[in-house]
């Protein structure tokens, strides 16, 4: 018996080796887009066990080649990718594409991790931030939704505080990078800085400007982006009683999204304990030393990193049990590609994929 317990760590290591060395067919739908490109880079960076890559893009790109891990791969059509029955399909090609094709992949046994808003609020689809609720994923969850980028970074920072103190109300204002719109927005800003007239991603100039509109306006006066933050937060935290209001603003920034968050708790809190809870939460880095002017910034701290950064942690002196904080993250990584790949890693690690 003693020998068994001595060898047990080796058995666990060997089992993990077998899990992570399966032959994995991975499709990336939207492989030539901004998020898809980051997904490919992260699959390589994180040594995900890809033995066959199946890049998918629009019909005009089918047959062309892209590079991954030193090899060239031909771009597939949707149906060609489905016929290959990938184990996982990472989707980042827009909501209409996801609605049309995600369940076709799921039908052949593929786990679809979708980065669009198409499935997020479907009652039978899981909305996952791995550090919070990956444990709810089962083998039958073939279409898994990736939350909105601005929602991910906020809930990751707020969840450990919600567990401890209970959240009553959230007021959030976002300062969102143009990279959240895509290549077209980056080109618009570059053109404006050079005085060149070109295609517009936004209805207004973005360079040297702020646009208080992300997505379309709804009947209640809020934008779809703002209501995504409201509804997705409640679903992820699994608490419909939380009151949430949001204002989402597009700013001429590359590197990540920033958020000013005011959160009212049901119980009082200690600031040192708040900092400790955040510092010990996986995926969060606290940068909060105002004496040295240390606080998170998108380009300086978050850009090309996977962590969520939190700073400017302080009491709201106008109201009891209320905290102010500043949250920053790379919207293309943790806000999109990294979160999706972490979900994929969970599927592999928990042996939910039958290769």
The catalytic site residues sit at 149, 257
| Cα gap 31→26, rounded to integer Å | 11
How far apart, in Å, are the Cα atoms of 312 and each of 145, 158, 272, 291?
A: 31, 14, 13, 11
| Cα gap 58→76, rounded to integer Å | 9
Helices (H) and strands (E) in the chain, counts: 10, 14
DSSP string, 279-301: HTSTTEEE--BGGGTB---IIII
Q: Please, what is the end-to-end C-alpha distance for the chain in angstroms? A: 33
| Cα gap 224→82, rounded to integer Å | 31
Q: Give the single-character DSSP code of 333.
A: I
The distance between the two most distant Cα atoms of the chain, rounded to a whole number of Å, is: 76
| Cα gap 47→195, rounded to integer Å | 42
| Cα gap 210→224, rounded to integer Å | 18
- Cα–Cα nearest to 352, from 19, 27, 15: 19
What does the CA dihedral 37, 41, 46, 49 come to, rounded to 10 degrees?
Answer: 80
- Cα–Cα nearest to 30, from 105, 116, 109, 104: 116
């Amino acid at each position: 018996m003693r020998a068994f317990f001595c060898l047990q760590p080796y058995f666990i290591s060997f089992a993990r080796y077998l899990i992570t060395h399966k032959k994995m067919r991975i499709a990336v739908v939207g492989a030539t887009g901004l998020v898809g490109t980051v997904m490919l880079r992260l699959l390589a960076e994180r040594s995900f066990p890809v033995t066959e890559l199946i890049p998918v893009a629009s019909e005009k790109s089918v047959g062309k080649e892209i590079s991954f891990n030193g090899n060239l791969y031909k771009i597939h059509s949707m149906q060609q990718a489905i016929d290959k029955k990938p184990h996982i399909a990472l989707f980042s090609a827009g909501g209409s594409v996801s609605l049309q094709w995600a369940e076709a992949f799921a039908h052949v046994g593929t786990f679809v991790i979708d980065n669009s808003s198409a499935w997020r609020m479907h009652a039978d689809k899981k909305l996952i931030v791995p550090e919070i609720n990956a444990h709810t994923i089962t083998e039958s969850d073939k279409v898994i939704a990736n939350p909105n980028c601005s929602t991910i970074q906020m809930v990751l920072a707020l969840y450990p505080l919600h567990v401890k103190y209970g959240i009553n109300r959230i007021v959030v204002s976002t300062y969102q990078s143009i990279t959240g719109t895509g290549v077209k927005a980056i080109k618009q800003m570059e053109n404006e800085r050079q005085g060149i007239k070109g295609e517009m991603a936004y209805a207004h100039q973005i360079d040297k400007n702020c646009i208080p509109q992300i997505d379309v306006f709804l009947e209640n006066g809020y934008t779809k982006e703002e209501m995504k933050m409201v509804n997705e937060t409640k679903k992820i935290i699994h608490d419909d009683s939380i009151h949430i209001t949001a204002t989402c603003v597009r700013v001429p920034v590359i590197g990540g999204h920033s958020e000013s968050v005011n959160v009212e708790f049901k119980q009082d809190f200690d600031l040192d304990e708040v900092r400790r809870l955040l510092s010990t939460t996986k995926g969060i880095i606290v940068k909060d030393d105002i004496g040295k002017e240390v606080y998170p910034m998108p380009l300086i701290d978050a850009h090309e990193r996977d962590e969520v950064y939190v700073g400017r942690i302080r009491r709201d002196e106008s109201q009891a049990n209320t905290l102010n904080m500043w949250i920053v993250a790379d919207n293309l990584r943790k806000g999109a590609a990294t979160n999706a790949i972490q979900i994929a890693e969970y599927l592999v690690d928990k042996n939910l994929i039958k290769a």
